[in-house]
Structure 1
């Protein structure tokens, strides 16, 4: 069985969540986990101006996924920062490029899900995940979220991400907050849970 963790990260928050998702997925025996990113679409001058260039060096070694390779995986978990309550333009552009796969029904029956980051606690985490879900449903994915079996999203003692739709983190208005231990644990749970369901389906 193979699982792909596919992400776009501007300042590294989603990259750290992607690593945790992958850690959880690797806990499932017999599961080969691959982490890749989607292509950058912003001009270099814009990346330099926003300070993203330096942050992205941390995961510059991660290979870029082509749309056609999505057929190779049993489960695909998508990570994206939020842009006005929606997925980022880079992830949208990547999904827009999968029309050929949609026309052939090449991804029907695969297991999928999403995880996100927002600047604020109420900055569109759930709407962004639901936006990714919409694209995945059009492709025929079987959706897996982050069930309340993970109790980390039930607490209110600290600011934390975590939704029943998928794992999430709060980055802060200037990206100053890094994913917390609780948020990373939620990501690991989602990765493991998604891989377990994909494995059960593959065994049918």
Structure 2
């Protein structure tokens, strides 16, 4: 039976979605792994989103909280709002109380990826504060660490991401993930999928 890795994300302007797509490719490159992209529900009205200049959502399916239990491992992705995950993703996690009571996510590996507006905008505080959600569910946080190698030490160009997970900078919205940031996202997907596969194989 295939190892199921879910990549669950929220993306208002497409930056996190770009990372999610590359993470999905990385996870799917592992033999025996079935990766799937999911979006969390939007909480803002179409009118508000239009005023904010947000593009239409892609056709990636919307996940319900109970569907999280079907995964063997989950990567969560979201943009930053004031150094923490956005309200849309927090609202989704707030709806997982039933899973928490039944301990249906306990013991499942989980990872995090993210987008921030600036270099001081939360590339580390965002995953750090998000780990509390995983801890309360009893999930096992899988950081990417420094397994990405030399790319983790890039100093000549602006690069998002950290040992906690893949990341990008959106700036004023016009900057999209660079090739190096996408490479780290692919790496995270592949690295995470291999770990989830090992967990499942040993259980």
Fold similarity call, TM over 0.5:
yes
TM-score, structure 1 normalization: 0.95
- Partners of 2:146 and 2:197 lie apart in 1 by 21
The gaps in structure 2 that reach 5 residues or longer are none
1:54-203, aligned counterparts within 5 Å?
Answer: 55-57=55-57, 59=58, 61-151=59-149, 152-172=151-171, 174-203=172-201
Residue 44 (structure 1) shift: 1.6
Runs of 4+ in 1 over 3 A off after TM superposition: none
TM-score, structure 2 normalization: 0.96
Q: Is the 8 Å Cα contact of residues 112 and 141 (structure 1) preserved in structure 2?
A: yes
- Partners of 2:38 and 2:199 lie apart in 1 by 24
- Partners of 2:138 and 2:121 lie apart in 1 by 28
- Partners of 2:179 and 2:112 lie apart in 1 by 19
- Partners of 2:79 and 2:87 lie apart in 1 by 10
1:23-34, aligned counterparts within 5 Å?
Answer: 23-34=25-36
Q: Which residue of 1 aligns with 2:12?
A: 10
Residue 125 (structure 1) shift: 1.5
Instruction: State the number of aligned residues.
Output: 199
Q: Is the 8 Å Cα contact of residues 20 and 184 (structure 1) preserved in structure 2?
A: yes
Residue 56 (structure 1) shift: 3.0
Structure 1 residue 35 and structure 2 residue 34: aligned?
no
Give a deviation string over 1:49-80, Cα, whole Å, max 9, x none. 0110xx234x1x11100000111000100000
- RMSD, aligned CA: 0.8
Residue 167 (structure 1) shift: 0.6
- Partners of 2:56 and 2:146 lie apart in 1 by 33
- Partners of 2:169 and 2:195 lie apart in 1 by 27
Residue 169 (structure 1) shift: 0.1
